[in-house]
Structure 1
Amino acid sequence: MTISIRTNATIFLSLLLPVLNPCHAISRSVPTYILANDDDDNQRGSVHGRIVTQDGQPAAYVSITVKGTAKGTTTADDGSYHLRHLAPGEHTLVVSFVGLQTQEQTITVTAGQNAQLDLTLTETARQLGEVLVKGYKSTNQVPVTVGKVAIKPMDLPQSVAVVERDVLDRQQTLRLSDVLANTNGVYISGSTGGFQEEISARGFAFGSSNTFKNGVRFNNGVMPEVSSLERVEVLKGSSAILFGNVAAGGILNLVTKKPRFESGGQVAMRVGSFGFYKPSFDVYTGLTQNIAVRLNGTYENSRSFRDDVRGERIYLNPSILAKIGTRTELLVEADYLRDKRTLDFGIGAINYAIPDVPRNRFLGTAWGYNQVNQTGVTATLTHRLTDQWQVRATGGLQDFSSDQFGTTRPNASSQFIKTNGDWQRGIQRTQVDEKYYIGQIDLTGQFSTGTIKHTLLIGADADSYRTNTTAFNPLAKYDTINVFNPAKYRLRTDIPTLTARQLTQAPIDRAGVYVQDLIALTNKLKVLAGVRWSYQQTGSTVTTLNDNKATTTSNFDDAFTPRFGLVYQPRETTALFVSYANSFALNTGVDVAGNALPPSFINQYEAGIKNDLFNGLLSANATVYQIKNSNLAQTSLENGNTNANIKELAGEVTSRGVEVDVKSKTIRGFSFLAGYSYNETRYTQSNTYIVGSLLRYNPNHTANASLFYTLQRPGFGQGLQLGFTAFYVGERQAGRSTRVTVANDTYRLIELPAYTQLNASVGYVRARYAIRANVTNLLNQLSYNVHDDNSINPIAPRQVSATLSWNW
């Protein structure tokens, strides 16, 4: 699809500016450009609104001009626009887009007022004899913000996946696991206690160091709120050059909704199975011509298919954008999450096998809970030094606290579930208080040395964790329950009092500097090269509270992590690439001489092809990779050592895989996305585990496919949307890997069955309102998310939900 451009050069410029101006890409505000001089702003008015297609979808990059003048703008990604500095009186707006019917609308502008004009464009088969410029970007053309510099994925020797807000709305996503069903190779590898979804990619687990919100790390010890997200970005593979100590599988960035310089919003109510209800709101406005604000939030109250399990959460996400002069922007974003839900470690395992008990059976106590309070504030100052150079500084802080109180995990602390189903329940409590601080600065720019073009990134960052964990004296025997027959025993319902036993203080201080350059040797051949130096200091102070005795340990490491990639583009719409990247993982423990262990280095090799087909209507990418940690820390066997704290870099883990992604734009009302991944992560050397054995939690195969249709024909039913999503998770294993160093080892793996989940959705979407409904797990498939052998959580059965929303 293409945009219709009139011969007026100013309109052509207004279309190009949103692409060329990185500041607008960061703020996501409506790109309005004033192409004539105006006098007194107080004596002028403005017009704002939203342009949608006849199926109710946002019409991005549509040209809007004031007839007979040089004033113009284009719509943003969400179809919104804002024309400022208009003289009072009647004006005719010309709205055009190739393939859509050009419209002219007359509107009266009043001094000091902001008039609103929303339009719906319809398709036309008329061919326009005008200059044509590509009017939208494919998924391979839009840079991800977490990359720190505006490099198109087509030029990046790395696999990238992005899930946009439109997909989140159509699928009515509720949890991050719903979002990741659209990203092959990135998957939920486990769930703990019903309050956390554990994420992995390419065989390596993500932690809080790999999970970001608006480019800043955040604690993923609680399920993040999805309703506030504009999109989800995934950089697969190593990103150590950008962020230092991150796992090799990739990083995940959650991008929240940004302030906008016009007034509008949405209120919505979602209801669903098992007594679920969730009201939400999203309000934005431009307070002045230079200040815009936005506030979205939600309240959630839910029960569960699990007996006696329920949850409640409150979320708020305020933000403010201030334009300080013509070249500087300050964006301040905050969020607050309070999440409290029943502590639920699932159905347990018997002799490393999943027992045949109903999916809804709950083994904990109704009063047990996990409560999290999470508050974060991030400020980003962006200043354009010139049209080619900008500097961006970010500062942030986050406060995370959790209180977990309830039954111990089944099979924990040697309290195994017996063959007859009897399990002696214990009670445990843990409190965590974590404070996180970060500061970073990036200089990005473009320049040329002769005929060679450069896209340069130079940056530095420093962050700090202060984590205090309080462990309480557990109650070893609370009562006994039978997992097959809960009525067999009389269960206790009282809440015991536990006393604090131990305080662990675990500070982490990190700093790094990095430089990266995308070098365009020719239009077809590009090189991405860079290096980062990282320093990290860790430690712990463990204090026993009854006698106030403390033990302190500390460790520090530094490391260089290089990156090199080669991209060859035989034509503008195809890119072949190969790359090498290096990352590192810090180790705990000491060697046989008592010295701190050095970090383990992880080498990754990747090759792939990226294609934009049919003028960008379809993107098809394929990637192969190998990731190898060839100096994995394992318990030292020297001189018959059995102290697990004395280690040697004697192990090796190798991950190999293939990934395929396909994504389309809307074609005659249809759009789809699909993907497949194969991964094999094994111990290729080990003195502890069987060489050749697979690592736990990682499915060899994952696949996803989503098909969407919107009825575009004018008349009854216009705006009707249908959707169908399927994702497949292959066989994987949990439990505990067999140790070759232990005679008569009782550890065993738990084989988890593969499953395919089908979801269906239907909606009716108009400019002002939308009604949506969806069904998840249509075939009522049963499988499990498992952590070790002590948190075995069944996936949810078939569920139904519906959402009614109103826009203004």
Structure 2
Amino acid sequence: MPLSEALQRIADEWNAPMDIDPAATEGLTAKPVVDARSERDAVDQATRGLPVAVQISDDGRIAIINELVVIARLNEAEDNVLVRGATSSSRLGQSLREQPRNTQVISSKLLERQQAQTLTEALANAGGVVANTATVQGGVSFSVRGFDSNGAVNGLPSASSSTFAAGTTLPLANIERIEVLKGPDAILLGSDNLGGTINIVTKKPYAEERLHVTAETGSFGLARGTIDANQSLTRDDRLSARVIATAATADRNFGGYRGNEDYLFAPSVRYKNAKSDIIVSATLGNQLFGVVPFTVMNRVTGEPYDIPDGQPLIGGKDQGVQIETTQFNAEISQEITDWLSVVARGQHQTINFALRQYSPFAILDNNGLLLVSSSGTRQTSENDTVDAFGRISFDTGAVSHKIVAGMTVVDSKVRAIYAGDGGLFPYNFLNPPATLRPLARNYNLSFDLDSTQYGYYGQYLIGFGPVHLVAGVRHNNTTITSAVSGGTPVENETNATTPNYGAVVDLTDHFSLFGSLAFGYVPVTTLDRSGNTLPDIRSRNAEIGVKWDLFDERVLLNASWFNIRQTNLLDRDPVDPRFQISVPGQQGEGIDINVSGRPFRGLTVSAAYTRTNYKFLEPSNTLGNTVNGQPRDVYNVYASYERKIADRMKAGIGASVSGRSSSAIDRLDLYRIPAATFANLNGFLSIGDLDINVGVRNLFDAENFNPTRSINYVPLGEPRTWRLTVGYRFF
């Protein structure tokens, strides 16, 4: 039966007036209607799977119209500095503006203008975040508000490779935005992330034709090429695909070690309509990094040793790490009814990590003698994560409600193999010997670490007028199994329940107050000398602040005061140094301000400032009196101005100043890393579809050192370098 005739019969039978658009029903045949309970049920059965939309007015009148076409669009983070949309970091469907926490988004548009190449460079825009490049294991990690964070990718916890936190090795070419979430977030990720989270969101397909090619060159023989191709695959634009590929190489890094190589292939497919959004993607990467250039402290002068430019402290050029990444992601968001949505996300990640470098483990005297390791490691990390939840939204009178319930399963396997022919040996870098012990080659000592985490969570958001209150709770069950070199596996199980509370009060349409009380934890399986398991490490973050939309919502300001407190930490047992004990933890209290947007035509701004006063809850002779590796002040200011100078021609300039205060190296505050400030400058020109960007980093060639917790490994900051990027949009 023709659809128009079937709908008219339904209207007559149920005595329900109905608006039927003839153009919408023309040529369509109705589906069978069986045992309909109401006119709405009958209409739903008759139109199921047909390209029409059913609308219900406030008075209950049914209208059948042409189906609304909803397709995927380019995410705002790829075209703007200010990002307002919903985020994978909130299961309640909130934007970062709506969440009761201090948040900061670093968009890919900003990173493109700054010519950022690594996550460390990108996170220079974030207040309260400190990148840790000072590790003899050759890794890069980061801390948020003084606590190490494992991070997340697309809102899911991910595997770490050695000391590389999740996401720190992802090429920026495939990153849509970086969300800096301040404060612990056990609700989102379960364990770890005591002080905050870096959520890395990868790029997605959209329903437009695009081919953008960029080429980059710069200091130390840098050469990089990137292709970003996007295409709608169907006539209705619901199915689209995207491929991002990049290849990069360099002759060396500024410390004289091997040049970085970076290879990425990242295809993705997306289906989107009015009720469904399905994304499947892969990330295949191979990266080779030279050792982060470093020096050591002079214990007599209390200053870092000067070393010749471009010369490794120990050994030759061919030292570094290799990371091979294979990652698959799938996400399904489905609107079941106008009040119920379900989301399911899955991620598989395999990381192969290999380290070859000479690592200084101790300073033996004041005349340049070091204790050096020639050992290496190879590690494979496999991580499978599934997260699924349902979200219910409804109103009762003037009160709105959102309820979320779901679960997360994380299965992680880490297998590390250490060199058996490496070892420690003395080495004087001021008077190096004629020959140097070769780096290890035989790997036969293994360590296995398997963990399975089951997390069950719920959240409730209630709103009445300008007041929005949220509460959440998560229960985690974690099983950790470890084995050394084929020995008997040791299994430990931990359970933890963590709550989370927040409130947002909209005083005006553009000005809001917020407050939150959030908790985090890290499961501990370490035994003390009596054979008892030490207590889990927990944190609590109390925060109040404001969110202010300025310049007709073109600029967003976040400002807050926070107090983050760690219950306990692990320290060396003074009775038997082979074991650890639990001692009172640390506290950080401070202010956190960030602002981003386009206040005027052509002007873009992004700035962040964090001041945190750290202290141990109970200083002691063994623990020390100073929280090390954490500068009190971290800041960044970026501004750019672009202006049209002719038809299809624009030119602009961008500049940034970033830095940090001095920080203690050791917990007794005997040695410090000096304060550092450095400036970057970019000039850009667009002529039609051609984009040119010329940049100088560390414009004034300021000497700087990165924060560290070891006097025998002081990472050097990059000297003045230049970069040239040329991009062309073919369509």
TM-score bracket, normalised by the shorter chain, equals 0.7 to 0.9
1:657 corresponds to which of 579, 590, 599: 590
Give 3-state SS (helix, strand or coil) of 1:246's partner: coil
1:571–1:555 CA distance, 2 compared to 1 (3 A):
same
Mapped contact 2:205–2:240 kept (Cα < 8 A): yes
Partner of 1:338: 286
What's the TM-score once normalised by structure 2's chain length? 0.84
CA contact (8 A) 2:297 2:304 kept: yes
Matches within 5 A, 1:538-577: 538-543=480-485, 550-577=487-514
Residue type at the aligned position of 2:524? N
Counterpart in 2 of 1:394? 345
Q: Kindly, what percent of the aligned residue pairs are identical?
A: 21
Q: Distance in 2 between matches of 1:496 and 1:626?
A: 46
Residue among 607, 610, 622 paired with 1:674: 607
RMSD (Å) for aligned C-alpha atoms: 3.0
Contact 1:193 1:346 in 2 (8 A): no
Q: Tell me the SS of whatever aligns to 1:606.
A: strand
**Among 380, 388, 396, which residue is 1:441 paired with?**
388
Task: State how far apart, in whole Å, the 2-side matches of 1:404 and 1:635 are.
Answer: 27
Taking structure 1 as reference, are residues 511 and 35 closer, same or farther at Cα in structure 2, changes over 3 Å only?
farther
Q: What's the secondary structure of 1:685's corresponding residue?
A: coil
Distance in 2, Cα, partners of 1:194 & 1:718: 48
Question: CA, structure 1 residues 311+73, in 2 after alignment: closer, same or farther (shift >3 Å)?
Answer: closer
Letter in 2 for 1:456: I
Aligned 8 A contact 1:138 1:616 in 2: no
1:355 aligned residue: 305
Residue 329 (structure 1) shift: 3.2
Determine the C-alpha separation between the residues in 1 that align with 2:728 and 2:676: 36
The amino acid across from 1:372 in the alignment is I
Q: What is the distance in 2 between the residues matched to 1:643 and 1:280?
A: 51
Partner residue, 1:373: 324
Aligned mate of 2:667, from 737, 762, 770: 737
State the AA in 2 paired with 1:711.
Answer: R
Letter in 2 for 1:400: I
Residue in 2 that maps onto 1:327: 275
Letter of the 2:458 partner, please give it.
V
Is residue 241 of structure 1 aligned with residue 182 of structure 2? no
Q: Distance in 2 between matches of 1:682 and 1:334?
A: 43
Q: CA 1:390 to 1:335, structure 2 compared with 1: closer, same or farther past 3 Å?
A: same
Residue 264 (structure 2) aligns with = 315
2:327 and 2:498 map into 1 onto residues whose CA distance is 29
Q: Structure 1 residues 194, 279: CA separation in 2 closer, same or farther (over 3 Å shift)? A: farther
Distance 1:619 1:308 in 2: 42
Alignment pair present for 1:182 and 2:129: no
* Structure 2 CA distance for aligned equivalents of residues 749 and 790 of structure 1: 14
* AA aligned opposite 1:190: T
User: For residue 703 of structure 1, what is the aligned residue in structure 2?
Assistant: 635
Alignment partner of 1:211 is 2:155: no
For the pair 1:259 / 2:211, whether they are aligned, the reply is no
Contact 1:674 1:706 in 2 (8 A): yes
Given that residues 565 and 585 in structure 2 are in contact (C-alpha distance below 8 angstroms), is that contact kept between their aligned partners in structure 1?
yes
Cα distance in 2 for partners of 1:796, 1:726 equals 15
SS in 2 for 1:571: coil
Distance 1:70 1:211, change over 3 A: closer
- In the aligned structure 1, how far is the partner of 2:525 from the partner of 2:710? 21
Q: Residues 118-159 of structure 1: CA distance to partner in whole angstroms, max 9, x if unpaired?
A: xxxxxxxxxxxxxxxxxx999584333222332133432101
Matched residues in 2 for 1:231 and 1:377: separation? 18
C-alpha offsets along residues 526-567 of structure 1, whole Å, 9 cap, x if unaligned? 111111111111121112xxxx6x143221111111011122
Match of 1:588 in 2: 525
CA distance in 1, matches of 2:425, 2:330: 48
Residue-by-residue CA offset, 1:559-598 (whole Å, 9 max, x unaligned)? 1110111222211211112211111122232356533223
Deviation at 1:474, TM superposition (A): 4.3
Structure 1 CA distance, aligned partners of 2:259 and 2:562? 42
Q: Provide, for residues 382-402 of structure 1, a one-character-per-residue CA deviation record: whole Å limited to 9, x for no partner.
A: 211123421111121111111
Counterparts in 2 of 1:71 and 1:159: CA distance versus 1, 3 Å: closer
Question: Once the two structures are superposed, what CA deviation does each residue of 1:68-106 show, in whole Å capped at 9, x if it has no partner?
Answer: x999999945699xxxxxxxxxxxxxxxxxxxxxxxxxx
What residue is the counterpart of 2:56 in the other structure?
none
How far did residue 773 of structure 1 move? 0.9
Rounded to whole Å, the distance in 1 between the matches of 2:373 and 2:635 is 40
Q: Determine whether 1:753 maps to 2:674.
A: yes
SS at match of 1:37: helix
Could you say which residue in structure 1 is the equivalent of 2:8? none
Query: Residues 331 and 35 (structure 1 numbering): CA distance in 2 closer, same or farther, change over 3 Å?
Result: farther
**1:725 and 2:656 correspond:** yes
Q: 1:36 to 1:719 in 2, by over 3 A?
A: farther
* Contact 1:344–1:364 under 8 Å retained in 2: no
Letter in 2 for 1:224: L
Residue 246 (structure 1) shift = 2.5
Alpha-carbon spacing, 1:674–1:458, altered in 2? closer, same or farther (3 Å):
same
Q: Structure 1 residues 406 and 138, CA, compared in 2 at 3 Å: closer, same or farther?
A: closer
Q: 1:426–1:576: structure 2 CA closer, same or farther, 3 Å change rule?
A: closer
Q: 1:523 to 1:632 in 2, by over 3 A?
A: same
**Partner-residue secondary structure (3-state), 1:365:** coil
Q: Does 1:647 align with 2:581?
A: yes
Name which of structure 1's ranges 286-295 and 523-532 shifts more when overlaid on structure 2. Answer: 286-295
Asked if the contact 1:779/1:798 (under 8 Å) is kept, the reply is yes
Q: 1:490 aligns with which of 429, 434, 452?
A: 434
Gaps of 5+ in 2: 1-20, 29-65
| Partner Cα separation in structure 2 for residue 151 and residue 445 of structure 1 | 14
Aligned residue identity for 1:286: S
Structure 1 unmatched runs, 5+: 1-33, 42-68, 81-135, 739-747
- The one-letter code sitting in structure 1 at the alignment partner of 2:550 is L
Find the aligned partners of 2:469 and 2:115 in 1 and give their Cα distance: 40
- Describe the SS at the equivalent of 2:187: helix
Distance 1:536-1:275 versus aligned 2 partners, 3 A rule: same
2:138 and 2:355 in contact (8 A); partners too? no
Output the CA distance in 1 between the equivalents of 2:343 and 2:663.
Answer: 43
Task: Give the equivalent residue in structure 2 for 1:93.
Answer: none
Q: Which residue identity does 1:662 align to in structure 2?
A: V
Alpha-carbon distance change, 195 to 665 in structure 1, aligned in 2, over 3 angstroms? farther
Question: C-alpha distance in 2, partners of 1:141/1:322?
Answer: 23
Give the distance between the partners of 1:772 and 1:180, measured in 2 at CA. 21
1:218: Cα distance to partner?
A: 4.3
Residue from 24, 28, 37 that aligns with 2:24:
37
Task: Judge conservation of contact 1:341–1:370 (CA < 8 Å) in 2.
Answer: yes
What TM-score results when the alignment is normalised by the length of structure 1? Answer: 0.76
- For residue 795 of structure 1, give the secondary structure of its aligned residue in structure 2: coil
Mapped partners of 2:374, 2:76: distance in 1: 54
- Establish whether residue 778 from structure 1 lines up as the match of residue 699 from structure 2: yes
Q: Deviations over 1:392-429 (max 9, x none)?
A: 1112111111111232x12x1x5x35423244654112
Pairwise mapping of residues 456-495 of structure 1 onto structure 2 (< 5 A)? Answer: 456-476=403-423, 480-483=427-430, 489-492=433-436, 495=438
Which moves more between the two structures, 229-238 or 625-634? 625-634
Q: 1:718 to 1:446 in 2, by over 3 A?
A: same
What amino acid does structure 2 have at the position aligned with 1:147? S
Q: Distance in 2 between matches of 1:256 and 1:392?
A: 18
Bigger mean CA deviation after superposition, 354-363 or 264-273:
354-363
C-alpha separation between the residues in 1 aligned to 2:22 and 2:139? Answer: 51
How far apart are 1:797 and its partner, in Å? 0.5
- Distance (whole Å) between structure 2 residues aligned to residue 567 and residue 576 of structure 1: 6
CA 1:178–1:138: 2 relative to 1, 3 Å: closer
Note the alpha carbon deviations across 1:734-773, whole angstroms, 9 max, x for none.
Answer: 2x434xxxxxxxxx74301111110111111245221111
> Which residue identity lines up with residue 672 of structure 1 in the other structure?
V
Query: Are the counterparts in 2 of residues 301 and 311 from structure 1 also a CA contact under 8 Å?
Result: yes
